[in-house]
Amino acid sequence: MSPDQIGFALIYISIFLLLGKLIRIKVPLFQNLFLPSSIIGGFLALILGPQVLGKIASSFVSENHFLTNGVMTEGITQVWEALPGLMINIVFAALFLGATTPTLKKIWNYGGPQLAFGWAIGWGQYVIGLLVVLLILVPFYDIPPMAGALIEVAFEGGHGTAAGMAGTFEELGFPEAFDLAIGLATVGILSGVIFGIILINWGIRSGKTKLVKDVKDFSRLKKQGIMEFQNREPAASMTLRPESIEPLSFHFAIVSLAVLIGYVLLQGLIWLESITWGAWTGSEVLTYVPLFPIAMIGGILLQLIFDKTDHHEVLDRRMIARIQGFALDVLILTAIASVSIDVIGEYFVPFLVLAVAGVTWNIVGFLILAPRIIPNYWFERGIGDFGQSMGVTATGLLLMRITDPDNESPAFEAFGYKQLVYEPLLGGGLVTALSVPIVAQFGAIPMLIVSAIMSIIGILTGLFYFGKNKA
């Protein structure tokens, strides 16, 4: 893999992101679905890549013709296959950098109801997935039991988590799980946006929403993904003088340092396991844990240091968010573009069963649990957790922004506080990273029992503690 190939791979990413944005602006269907440009560009790259255009062209041109790999070279596709696993470390390392850590009391009062709801849904995805695998997929399709964790890995974790666990799947002898997880993550995001918009329209028409009363409130520019002039604000703050160091360079260095701290921590944990319980029991789990959840811990540790020492507030959250957003765009586009259609075709029925089961659980959970757990503005707040449970945090934020465009409800604040407890564990956190190795090492039944207990705890806490305060 040469430097030229890496350079052209990045140029192609830029081109497909721009094409995705152009298509979003021009196609009303994608506007109404609020599809991110990275998803549109990813599908376009998949179609024009070796798996669609390349295979079609192979029927008409010679084996050595450049079109057999689509519009991209083999070197570009190799770079793209590696990028999701790298970008997810940046996304997770940046999660809490630049954000002031609130008190536990404030987190509990504001984010508690959504934490209980999200906890029930997240652990419930393991319950549903493991039940589907044990009752249907293992006996009839000979699928490894670890596939039961794929709903949570792909839906809650998204493309980044799925991509970040590629090495784990391969080491555990189920490399096809990567393509299944990426496919499920794509289904999750698309379903999250599509069903989210359907639910919002239903909520508005049935009076469930308190703030938006008419679907016509969505402007043309909003649908196109263009910020209105009167709503534009700085994307970041210049906290440092560029003649000393470019602020973007400084913030990227901080994110990279968080990843490095996470790497050192992970290697230390693997070493500790190898000389303690790993040596005693002959089983190892931490060896299969990907870097990204530990990189998130590295970011938290760095932020705690900045909380004590950053008297000039040089760490700007909005600049960190721009770096995180760029990494997420690259991650989603390259993950979709490099997914194996052949693998999904080979495992189509198990893939479909898992997808339908996961989507159904999330929709039913939102309609039944959210109004009973979240005490006020249940729709505006719950739709964010629904979006996150189907795809990524950005999907939840998108749906909340539609139902609360002027930030009049506690939805965004509560959602953010919930993430402080939720993200380190589920949705790509430690539980997500450990779930597949645990099922592989100890079997599906123990994981199913634990997941059921944890989901029930979330439901009961929500119903009988937070639900009692319903306004």
Specify the pLDDT at position 263.
92
Tell me which of 394 and 373 has the higher pLDDT.
373
pLDDT of the residue at 161: 76
From CA 380, how far away is CA 369, in angstroms rounded?
14
Q: Tell me which H or E stretch contains 103.
A: none
Q: Average per-residue pLDDT in the chain?
A: 82
State pLDDT tens for residues 234-248.
666 787 888 889 988
Range from 155-164, 175-184, 221-230, 332-341 carrying the lowest mean pLDDT: 221-230
Can you tell me the mean pLDDT for 67-72? 76
pLDDT of 34 higher than 80: no
- CA dihedral angle for residue 27, residue 30, residue 36, residue 41, rounded to 10 degrees: -60
> Mean pLDDT over residues 78-89, rounded?
82
Q: What is the pLDDT of residue 449?
A: 94
User: Predicted confidence band at 102 (pLDDT cuts at 50, 70, 90)?
Assistant: low
CA-closest candidate to residue 35, choices 232, 324, 236, 329: 329
Exposure string over 327-366, b if 16+ CB within 10 A, otherwise e: bbbbbbbbbbbbbbeebbeebeebbebbbebbbebbbebb
pLDDT at 252: 93
pLDDT at 217 over 60: no
Of the pLDDT bands very low, low, confident and very high (cuts 50, 70, 90), residue 130 is very high
Q: DSSP class of residue 233?
A: -
Of 72-76, 119-123, 396-400, the one with minimum mean pLDDT is: 396-400
Dihedral of CA atoms 115, 200, 157, 130 in degrees, nearest 10, equals 80
What pLDDT was estimated at residue 106? 72
Q: What is the mean pLDDT of residues 82-101?
A: 80
Q: Name the pLDDT band for 366 (thresholds 50, 70, 90).
A: very high
What share of the chain has pLDDT > 90, as a percent?
Answer: 18
pLDDT at residue 213, rounded to an integer:
63
pLDDT reported for residue 302: 92
Using the 8-state DSSP alphabet, how is residue 109 labeled? I
Residue 183: its pLDDT value, please? 84
Is the pLDDT assigned to residue 187 strictly greater than 90? no
Q: Span 366-373, mean pLDDT?
A: 91
User: What sign results for the dihedral spanned by CA atoms 87, 89, 94, 95?
Assistant: positive
Residue 220 confidence (pLDDT) above 80: no
Residue 353 has pLDDT above 60, yes or no: yes
* Residue scoring higher pLDDT (154 or 189): 154
Q: pLDDT confidence of 292, banded at 50, 70, 90?
A: confident
Q: Report whether pLDDT(138) > 70.
A: yes
| Ranges 51-55, 129-133, 144-148: which has the least confidence | 51-55
Candidates 352, 429, 312, 16; CA nearest to 187 is 352
Q: Where are the domains of the chain?
A: 83-226+295-318+339-469
Q: Which of residues 73 and 382 earns the better pLDDT score?
A: 382
pLDDT at 121 over 90: yes
Asked if 161 contacts 428 with a C-beta cutoff of 8 angstroms, the reply is yes
Phi, psi of 177 (to 5 degrees): -60, -30
Split at pLDDT 50, 70, 90, the class of 356 is: very high
Instruction: Evaluate if residue 215 carries a pLDDT over 70.
Output: no
Whether the pLDDT of residue 32 is over 80: the answer is no
Which one is predicted more confidently, 409 or 195?
195
Task: Name the DSSP class of 211.
Answer: S
Query: Cα–Cα distance between 85 and 331 in angstroms, integer?
Result: 8
Q: Nearest to residue 329, comparing CAs of 321, 319, 340, 341?
A: 321
CA distance 238 to 246: 9
Average pLDDT score over residue span 367-371 = 91
Percent of the chain, pLDDT > 70?
86
Residue with tokens 């599908």, as numbered in its chain: 43
CA 79-83-434 angle, to 5 degrees, is 135
